[in-house]
Structure 1
Amino acid sequence: MLNRIHRVEDGRRIEGVTRPIFIHNFSYHLTNLLVFADGAINCWEWVDLDGLREKLDCGWVVTAVPEGGEISAFELGRWKAAEPMFHLTAEELLGEVADDIERLNGRPDSTDRCLSALDRYLESRDEADRLAMREAYLAIPEHKRHYALGDMDHKDRPLVILCTGIGEPPIGGWFDDGEAVTEAMREWALDYFADRDRARAEYESKRPADDPPRPAAGTVHLGGRVFPNGPPEDAGLAVLQIEYPAAIEVGGAVYPSVAHAYWALSTADPEDRERVRTAERSYDAQRIAGAAPRVPGWPDARTAVMAGLLRAKFDRHPGLAAVLLGTGDAPIGYTGPDSDHWVSHGEAGRNWIGRLLELVRSELRARELGIPLQVGRV
């Protein structure tokens, strides 16, 4: 199992991974090989890939413990190997570490390079490209030469057939029976890849049945507009803000805006609620409510409350609903000084007001289409 790590050098973060190995220093110490993107490797000493090969050659780093060898796992304890079974050779470990360094740098590893060579050969059918593909396949660590294609049924059999010349035994003794590759086997392998490419193209072009026929429009950004002297005659998309003065009725009381209603409903005391409701501006409503006791459990209910208030606003004001529908299917990003729960601050914030506006917009569209949204009990 690989674990991600990093080190910092000269103020630069260098990504890395760990691999389990044994250090043979009198006993066999189970520890981690530290592999970093810059090629630095720590095996209780700092080395590079060539240095790791030297450590494997001299027996300092090992991938197996002999019968009776004493194994130490530091504080976990010590024991002796009895009937040990290990599956990774020194050469395979070197190949794995080389691939780790490539992946840490965002570059193709040995399997990726082989699959690229396969694509080139399938396109050109040139013998030089086939030999390059063969060489690339043999460069994959041997224990990984089974699932390069990601096919649990055929494994790498079609790839091995193409890598092998007609009349030759499969490279690496891949077939148990040692049968030489025939022209019919080559045709089967080519048909396999043709079918695979067709299936891949169909999958990549397939879209869910309920997806829109075109990509969503660019994000609509809302928030930040205040109306100290009342809104202008044409406030544009700012009419969608919760502070915009569009009266709504909740529980028999009329509130000047969604913001007034939200903050009033959050207060536990009826007198405070009334003071918030009658505040001149939404800013004042929030300030008054902020100094008052909150309804117990309010944070757990606030998202549902906001959803209901937004529905009330656009149900009561069809002109504002038309503006919301006019945003099409664009994502809505809501910014402002509110908590991260409600707004988006760059990469931060949960943007719940924006998300709820998108939900209400979808509900309005469903209503236009005559789609029932109320589901009755059976």
Structure 2
Amino acid sequence: MTRERTYRIVDGERIEGTWRPIFIRNVDYHLTDLLIFADGAIWCWEWVDLDGLRAKLESGWVATTLEPGARATAHHLGAWRFGEPRSALTAEMLLGEVADEIDRLNDRPDSTDRCLQALDRYLDTRTEEDRQALRDAYLDIPEHLRVYALGDMDNKDRPLAVLCTPLGEPLLANRTPGSAPAVTERMREQAYAYFGDSAQAKERFTAPRPADDPETPSTPLHVTQTVYPQGWPTDPGPHFLQNDYPAPIEIASTTYPTVEHAYWALSTTDPEIRERIRQADRAVEAKRLARDAPRLPSWPDARAAVMARLLRAKFRQHPRLADYLLSTGGTHIHYGGGSESGYWVTRDQSGRNWKGRLLELVRSELTAEQVIEHMFD
């Protein structure tokens, strides 16, 4: 696979994807891209899933067999005829690669990872049941990829294949018909020794996890700007974190209905407009009033620090909201908003996400305060 990345947007949600070159046969052969997405959707000039891709391969629409003398084209690049074509993949190999790629796009173990997990179980138990499960997992790896599952350029997968093969049977990984040696007890003991040595080497050379890092990565939290025309729900969940959530804050002896009101009021040099912004019924109205107001000359340089101060006020003055923010743990916070500046939000592959980053900062400060309080209890 190419490991290149693409994406598509579905109902406002970004679906990660990748692509690989293929030939589609529609009269002529056409060199094009097979697009593969995390939700299982596959584009081969039609939208299909894995079963649909199998059908396209069986029909020859997605071609893994190339006929000598056939005409082929690459859009905007050129055309040619095959002389002595050789295809690198069978249909089953291609299907296996695509299935693995969908797993990787979802951060799931692919066929090789699942095989290595089965290997760990077998080495721990050495039961025949787990050896058979290991064999099945190894055979689930696309055939052409059963070479470097162990990441060993010298031994390749031979030690793994030895454990997968019953005693007395031809070695599973050998690709030369009639030349595979029968697996012996000695070969199996050598394989056990290989994995024992590998485990020790891995333990010696694997960099230790930094002492202050989390044990497991967390799932990102997405905060999408949401409007509630009929009023906010009793428990809006992540929308507690929105700047327009009605949580009055006091700054320099002045109370503002929301963080959004305070931010835009403080941004202008006009006292009259500042007061009108403060008294606006809704945050969206406060932002509209501030749009054409005279801005403080240094505002672009000060805005991140001002926002940090406002967010600290919000969560320190509203313990319930602070509890929710703390409940998000160490998750990375993505703050999205269609009309927001890319400085503040994350949008597709762009956006600096300062709102999300400052929420993480305030959460970290609140957590630190709890830690310090606990230390001196």
TM-score (norm 1): 0.55
Partner of 2:101: 100
Partner of 2:206: 204
State the shift of 1:345 in Å: 8.5
Partner of 2:119: 118
SS in 1 for 2:35: strand
SS in 2 for 1:151: coil
Letter in 1 for 2:196: A
Letter in 1 for 2:64: T
SS in 2 for 1:20: strand
Residues of 1 paired with 2:355 and 2:149: CA distance?
43
Matches within 5 A, 1:315-330: none
Output the aligned Cα RMSD: 2.7
SS in 2 for 1:29: strand
Residues of 1 paired with 2:161 and 2:24: CA distance?
36
In structure 2, the CA distance between the partners of 1:130 and 1:175, relative to structure 1 (3 Å rule), is farther
TM-score (norm 2): 0.55
Letter in 2 for 1:84: P
Q: Does residue 1:59 correspond to 2:35, yes or no?
A: no
Partner of 1:156: 157
Matches within 5 A, 1:1-378: 1-174=2-175, 177-204=179-206, 347=357
Residues of 1 paired with 2:212 and 2:90: CA distance?
50
State the shift of 1:346 in Å: 6.9
Residues of 1 paired with 2:7 and 2:207: CA distance?
39
> Is the Cα–Cα contact under 8 Å of residues 69 and 83 in structure 2 kept in the other structure?
yes
Residues of 2 paired with 1:123 and 1:136: CA distance?
16
Residues of 2 paired with 1:175 and 1:156: CA distance?
15
State the shift of 1:204 in Å: 3.0
What 5-or-longer segments of structure 1 have no aligned partner? 217-286, 291-343, 349-378
State the shift of 1:173 in Å: 3.4
State the shift of 1:67 in Å: 1.0
> Is the Cα–Cα contact under 8 Å of residues 160 and 174 in structure 1 kept in the other structure?
no
What 5-or-longer segments of structure 2 have no aligned partner? 214-295, 299-353, 359-377
Q: Deviations over 1:271-325 (max 9, x none)?
A: xxxxxxxxxxxxxxxx9xx9xxxxxxxxxxxxxxxxxxxxxxxxxxxxxxxxxxx
SS in 2 for 1:186: helix
Residues of 2 paired with 1:204 and 1:7: CA distance?
37
> Is the Cα–Cα contact under 8 Å of residues 22 and 64 in structure 1 kept in the other structure?
no
State the shift of 1:164 in Å: 0.2
State the shift of 1:74 in Å: 1.2
> Is the Cα–Cα contact under 8 Å of residues 146 and 173 in structure 2 kept in the other structure?
no
Q: Deviations over 1:108-157 (max 9, x none)?
A: 00000000000000000011000000000000000100000000000000
Partner of 2:269: none
State the shift of 1:83 in Å: 1.5
Letter in 2 for 1:173: N
SS in 1 for 2:32: strand
> Is the Cα–Cα contact under 8 Å of residues 150 and 157 in structure 2 kept in the other structure?
yes
Residues of 2 paired with 1:202 and 1:57: CA distance?
48
Aligned residues: 223
> Is the Cα–Cα contact under 8 Å of residues 22 and 61 in structure 1 kept in the other structure?
yes
Residues of 2 paired with 1:175 and 1:132: CA distance?
25
Letter in 1 for 2:184: T
Residues of 1 paired with 2:201 and 2:173: CA distance?
29
> Is the Cα–Cα contact under 8 Å of residues 104 and 110 in structure 2 kept in the other structure?
yes
Residues of 2 paired with 1:127 and 1:345: CA distance?
55
Larger Rg: 1
State the shift of 1:69 in Å: 1.3
Residues of 2 paired with 1:167 and 1:103: CA distance?
36
Residues of 2 paired with 1:14 and 1:206: CA distance?
33
> Is the Cα–Cα contact under 8 Å of residues 50 and 99 in structure 2 kept in the other structure?
yes
> Is the Cα–Cα contact under 8 Å of residues 117 and 133 in structure 1 kept in the other structure?
yes
Q: Which runs of 4+ in 1 moved over 6 A?
A: none
SS in 1 for 2:39: coil
State the shift of 1:63 in Å: 2.2
> Is the Cα–Cα contact under 8 Å of residues 6 and 14 in structure 1 kept in the other structure?
yes
> Is the Cα–Cα contact under 8 Å of residues 17 and 37 in structure 2 kept in the other structure?
yes
Residues of 2 paired with 1:37 and 1:5: CA distance?
11
State the shift of 1:203 in Å: 1.7
Residues of 2 paired with 1:174 and 1:75: CA distance?
40
> Is the Cα–Cα contact under 8 Å of residues 158 and 173 in structure 2 kept in the other structure?
no
Letter in 2 for 1:63: T
Q: Deviations over 1:204-241 (max 9, x none)?
A: 3679xxx9xx769xxxxxxxxxxxxxxxxxxxxxxxxx
In structure 2, the CA distance between the partners of 1:9 and 1:23, relative to structure 1 (3 Å rule), is same
Residues of 1 paired with 2:355 and 2:61: CA distance?
52
Residues of 1 paired with 2:107 and 2:196: CA distance?
29
Residues of 1 paired with 2:96 and 2:157: CA distance?
18
SS in 2 for 1:13: strand
